[in-house]
Amino acid sequence: MISEVLGLSLADIFAKSLADFKDRDAFSTIKKEKLTYRQFGDRVEILTQIFNNHGLKKGEKIAILGNNMPNWGVSYFAVTTSARVSVPILPDFTAFEIANIIEHSEASAIVVSEKLQYKLSKALLERFSLVVIMDTLEVSKSNSEVEQIINDFPEPSDIATIIYTSGTSGTSKGVMLTHRNLVSQNYMANKLMPMFKEDVFLSILPLSHAYECSLGLILPFSRGAQVVYLDGAPTPSLLLPALSEVKPTIMLSVPLIVEKLYKNKIRPIFTKNWIMQFLYSIHFIRRGFHKVAGKKLCQTFGGRLRFFGIGGSKLDGVVEKFLTDAGFPYSIGYGLTETSPLLAGAIPGKVTWQSTGPHLPDLEMKILNPNKKGIGEILVKGPNVMEGYYKDPDTTASCFTDDGWFRTKDLGYIDKKGNLFIKGRKDNMIVGPNGENIYPEEIEAVINEHDLVLESLVLNIKGKLTAIVHYNYEQIEKLHTFSEEAVVNMEQRVSEVKKELIEYVNDRVNKSSRILDIIEQTIPFEKTATQKIKRYLYS
């Protein structure tokens, strides 16, 4: 029963795991250091003592800025289990964004990795009473004129972390999550997909994001599992050998990683000549091809994968069909930073195409003011819903209904089986000339299904429904080479693809959702940590 965990804090989870799994492997960086639970606990104790020696009191904010490594988790648990408040900062944030977060959060100390120190200005460093280097846990700067203290232990209602979202709207807000939020989330996530001490996670998403922190750090730690980090960004040159060496049983990902793999590596195999193209167009043959490719894909991932979680944004429908046919153990989840983050999910083998699955049983979900198609704003209630936005009571109040339901600002509907289908963000919805609701994310999904498109945005520009498209230039070049056409410059090739794409999309969407123009986006779109396009930069 979830009521049993509501009286616990992260300190309770931490202590239990150290007692139960002390000699098991906990965290490691591939081809570098490896820590057991006991060694990890020792490091947490060392860092907690540093905080105590420098007089950091209960509730003080401590920023964490670093790339994924075992000592990122050490920093997080040292802060949260000693009743201080962690402020994780995304490594990709600019120096300006980092300075704003530190100032807004009132962080008085920071744990920063060697590689990211350059993002902290001299003036910014001066405001800290303590600076610790994450890689070595050595003190870089301190205020010696402080009194040593003995740290407190957190209460379930205490704030554990303030996570600043890198949202698609451009406004970064500090989401306050309590120990109760995170502990209840941990319980609910494990209930959906039980984890075991034999599981091995390969971590490829930033730990400073709620998704990876809750489900890729706290969850495996609470179950005695092992987490392995890459020594850098998840590029193919690093990821492929790591998969072969680690042979993970569990991975968490975002759609873009799988979509790129399918569009750039898998689909070209089936469309390399006209015979293959013809065979691939036949449904039962295509499914056979997918099954064969699926076996190879599972081997590429090490041969032991039992859970590949996909979340953060909507998965391309064509790619999802491939994963289903291939028998790949993928799972779909939906959530928000504000909800710690998971709200809904379906485990491998139980996924409904293009659905996030049903909401977690320990929370409530409903659709506000559904239209004739059952579509409305998704509202939730549960112990994992945030305390509010830091120093922003007005925005906090606007995110809750009078009777306490949290407004997700996502639009969707729930089918008769309880499966949730996301239609798009409420703020992105376009009202057509005849008053009809147009969901740009749905049109983008159709555009992105085209072989020669990598990503897209649909906007209302001067009253015209317009798509901004980043093409798959590599495939456009290959296609024309294969067709043995005369050498034509890329500009003309793209112009031909554009005409074909408008026709392709408008044949597949309803009348009110037809696009009137396409603008070429020659470079990839700017994205958030979960690889969602920052729409505000292009609207």
Q: What is the mean pLDDT of residues 233-238?
A: 88
> Residue 484: is its pLDDT beyond 60?
no
> Residue 308: is its pLDDT beyond 80?
yes
Contact 212, 184 (CB under 8 A): no
Query: Which domains are delineated in the chain?
Result: 2-223 (3.40.50.12780), 254-427 (3.40.50.12780), 429-537 (3.30.300.30)
Per-residue pLDDT reduced to its tens digit, 141-182: 998 778 899 999 999 999 999 999 865 555 679 999 999 999
Q: What is the mean pLDDT of residues 181-207?
A: 97
Q: What is the mean pLDDT of residues 191-212?
A: 96
Rounded CA-CA distance 155/9 in Å is: 6
For residue 224, count CB atoms less than 10 angstroms from its CB and return exposed for 0-12, middle for 13-18, buried for 19 or more: buried
Collapsing DSSP to helix, strand or coil, 153 comes out as: coil
Q: What is the mean pLDDT of residues 61-68?
A: 98
> Residue 528: is its pLDDT beyond 90?
no
> Residue 530: is its pLDDT beyond 90?
no
Of 226-230, 339-343, 433-437, which range is least confident?
Answer: 433-437
Of 19-28, 198-207, 519-528, which range is least confident?
Answer: 519-528
At a CB cut-off of 8 Å and minimum separation 6, what does 393 contact?
A: none
- Return the pLDDT at 167: 58
- Return the pLDDT at 66: 98
Per-residue pLDDT reduced to its tens digit, 435-459: 788 989 899 989 998 989 999 999 9
Rounded CA-CA distance 21/36 in Å is: 8
Neighbour tally for 217: CB within 10 Å: 20
Distances (CA, A) of 67 to 207, 493, 518: 8, 40, 37
- Global confidence as pTM: 0.90
> Residue 267: is its pLDDT beyond 90?
no
Rounded CA-CA distance 319/2 in Å is: 36
- Return the pLDDT at 378: 98
- Return the pLDDT at 483: 47
> Residue 244: is its pLDDT beyond 70?
yes
Rounded CA-CA distance 366/410 in Å is: 12
Rounded CA-CA distance 198/220 in Å is: 10
- Return the pLDDT at 536: 86
- Return the pLDDT at 168: 52
| SS3 readout for 3-70 | HHCCCCCHHHHHHHHHHHHCCCEEEEECCCCEEEHHHHHHHHHHHHHHHHHCCCCCCCEEEEECCCCH
Q: Which two tokens stand for residue 438?
A: 């147009």
Q: What is the mean pLDDT of residues 482-502?
A: 75
Q: What is the mean pLDDT of residues 92-98?
A: 91
- Return the pLDDT at 491: 83
- Return the pLDDT at 271: 82
For residue 180, count CB atoms less than 10 angstroms from its CB and return exposed for 0-12, middle for 13-18, buried for 19 or more: buried
Q: Kindly state the percentage of the chain with pLDDT values over 90.
A: 77
Q: What is the mean pLDDT of residues 478-490?
A: 57
- Edge to edge, the sheet with strand 174-178 lists 138-142, 130-133, 109-112, 61-65, 85-89, 159-164, 174-178, 388-389
Q: Which two tokens stand for residue 485?
A: 């056409």
For residue 512, count CB atoms less than 10 angstroms from its CB and return exposed for 0-12, middle for 13-18, buried for 19 or more: middle
Backbone angles phi, psi at 229, to 5 degrees: -110, 150
Q: Kindly state the percentage of the chain with pLDDT values over 70.
A: 97
Rounded CA-CA distance 335/340 in Å is: 8
Q: What is the mean pLDDT of residues 278-297?
A: 93
Rounded CA-CA distance 256/348 in Å is: 19
| pLDDT level of residue 482 (50, 70, 90 thresholds) | very low
Mean per-residue pLDDT over the chain, rounded: 93
For the chain, report the end-to-end CA distance as a whole number of angstroms: 46
Contact 515, 443 (CB under 8 A): yes
Contact 44, 72 (CB under 8 A): no
DSSP 430-495: EE-TTS-EE-HHHHHHHHHTSTTEEEEEEEEETTEEEEEEEE-HHHHHHHHHHTTPPP--HHHHHH
Rounded CA-CA distance 348/159 in Å is: 34
Give the residue from 197, 262, 221 showing the smallest Cα distance to 27: 221
The upper half-sphere exposure of residue 375, i.e. CA atoms within 13 Å in the direction of its Cβ, equals 15
> Residue 341: is its pLDDT beyond 90?
yes
- Return the pLDDT at 180: 98
Rounded CA-CA distance 27/24 in Å is: 10
- Return the pLDDT at 166: 66
More confident residue, 487 or 403: 403
Q: Which two tokens stand for residue 200?
A: 């091995």
Rounded CA-CA distance 511/402 in Å is: 38
Rounded CA-CA distance 74/61 in Å is: 16
Q: What is the mean pLDDT of residues 57-62?
A: 97
> Residue 340: is its pLDDT beyond 90?
yes
| pLDDT level of residue 488 (50, 70, 90 thresholds) | low
Backbone angles phi, psi at 83, to 5 degrees: 70, 20
